[in-house]
Structure 1
Amino acid sequence: MGDLLRYRTDEAHEEPAVTLDGFLGQSNATAVRIEAGEDARALLPHLDRLALVEVSFPKFRDGRGYSTGRILREAGYTGELRAQGDVLVDQIPLMRRCGFDSFAPEAPVDEAVLAASLARYEYHYQAAADAAMPVWKHRHG
């Protein structure tokens, strides 16, 4: 399961993530935390020095973090992108498609349920930040 999903906590990264305002106000931080509603585009000039971007999911029904992940990955961010907070097992496949590669959920995730969730769909209908080819390209490509 470790190759399917990396679970992380703040202690797993040597440097604690600073707030977006704190990050923009200093020059030496390599880890930043983005809260729901903050604009990830403020980080675009600094992607080359970031090792970790932690994105807050305060409630499972708040989807703004998905956009944050996709914005950063499509802009070329290659570091660790962590979803933290109210992360549910059925959200993880889409979070991965949006570029998240590590997770710090508030509640434990059953690994068997996660494996089944990740394997459920062979094809996707839309393009995302991952390399999966949309099903229509398979038909017309």
Structure 2
Amino acid sequence: MPWIATIDAFQHWIYANPEHTREERVEKWLELGERFGSHLDYEGLDHIHELSWQRQGHLFGVPFYYVEYGIAQLGALQMWQYHRRDSSNALARYKAGLALGYTRGLTELFDASGLALSFSEEHVSGIIAEIESALDEIPA
């Protein structure tokens, strides 16, 4: 998710600032990496880090599409949460959303599956907390 958020914010900035310089682009990329949690050690590899956005082909071929993967991941994680609480009904909820296929918008598909299409800090934090809890349950 951090990579998806970084890519999405970066491409929004690029299109909103079409006259930006190469230096500004590098600065924005590094800033967004810090903002969204890319805390990798690039010591001695600064030149690679500054251009690492170029490895994301969606920026060139299908701009503003990559965020769809993030939306799908949020939906999948919510369905996983629901399954942990009520496994017998989780599949039925999933099928209810799938049954609508392309006949409804994304918000309605999420609603039909009992999911929230939300990027709020509160919502995402709840998902993260459950992931952390599940990881803590794994025996060492």
So what's the TM-score if we normalise by structure 1? 0.22
Higher helix share: 2
Decide which structure has the larger Cα Rg and report it. 2
The structure richer in strand per residue is 1
TM-score by length of 2: 0.22
